[in-house]
Structure 1
Amino acid sequence: MMNDYSYILAAATVPLFTGFGLISGLEPASVGLRFYTTERLHEGKIYRARRAHVQFVESLFWYGQLDNDIDGERFRTELEKHFRPVVEQIHTKTGLSRAALWRLAGDAIAYLFLDTGRRFDTVKTAKAAAMRILKVPGSPLANRELQYFELAEFDRHQQEVRETFLQRGGCCRFYQVEGGAYCSTCVLKTPADRDDELRRALRDQLGVS
């Protein structure tokens, strides 16, 4: 639940900031979410997929800049304002650690900064902004493990290809469900195992052995 919710909220807000400099007011009462399931066809089979619609009920936006500390602080404050009651509700109902739930929120936010940075060709600026927002001492979003890192491989023409990855700070526990596995950048993996798996995937993507 926390993992899905975090990625949905981050997907609706981070691209606005990274791509257009828009910061939305995120008071819980100002954001509407509708969860639903649908069916999708993949490789000849029909699967049920979870989806969500996000609507900003109150159109309160600020215009800012991705590399501005004050704007980053405002975005962080709005994110914390929104996630705080979500974390409290899930903690109360499940007994799961508040810190662990906040880590999942931070992971989602950091991933969307990286993803949208790629889409808007502002990866370096987006990564820096994410770290300023997610590494503030005393913030519930801050944790030491969360970070970006790069790996490099050579393509068929012996040209170096560098790829940026997100080292997650939290664990979604997907490996504990039936048929589950560790995520490629799971915090529970050793850096060596993580990098080896990612390098193999990158080589496959480049078509080299």
Structure 2
Amino acid sequence: MNESIFLLDKRVVFDSTKMTLSHGNEIIRISEAETHLLLAFWHGLYKKEDIIHLVWENRGGCVSESSYYKLINQMRNDFSSIGLQPSDIVTRPRVGVSLSVAIEPIKKITSLKVSDENVKGPSTREKIFYKIKRHSVFVVLTGAILLALLYGVFTIYKAPVRNSPDSFFTYLGEYNDYAIYKTKEDKVTLSEVVFAFNSLKIKIYRQNGRHLYYIREPNMNIFLQCL
């Protein structure tokens, strides 16, 4: 048989090559006879004669009734030491002995997990492809927006003189060391602009610029501050 490592009750590792039982950080070494007894359980053997043949006679040895029962008691003690129940080894009167908990080769369990991953593989690849595609669209859109902003800035700074502030605003006067401008079409006076300036709820600071461009809109006063 190819299997050498098993799980007992889905929690205790039985290594038939190293002849050990382990559970977490706990490891105990078992005898060769105990190892073959557990392998007999794995083979589905439970009759006393079959177990004796596999554990002893198959290897050219001989055994007495007392050795058979001593082996069973020894195995139960090991179960108790590693976290299993001694009662997991069930004696069948006048028949033999059997194991009441599952014994499974770890290789089969691993194969099932791998198969499950293979089933989910295409779906996972589709999700990854979707994420890459969505990320690519985001990068393209971000790049387009940045290009549009750069073009707008370039247009503002490279526009002809007719698009400069002087084409839309005219100098109105000085107030509190600010140079104030208004739109050419607006008939507003300096005193009206000063009143609107003093009515602002958000303070304007001189260090941000001394040129104030005033735009009057219905129910709204707009000031553009420039250096």
Greater Rg by CA: 2
Asked if these proteins are the same fold (TM beyond 0.5), I'd say no
TM-score using structure 1 length: 0.25
TM-score using structure 2 length: 0.24
Name which structure has the greater RCO, CA cutoff 8 Å, separation 6+: 1
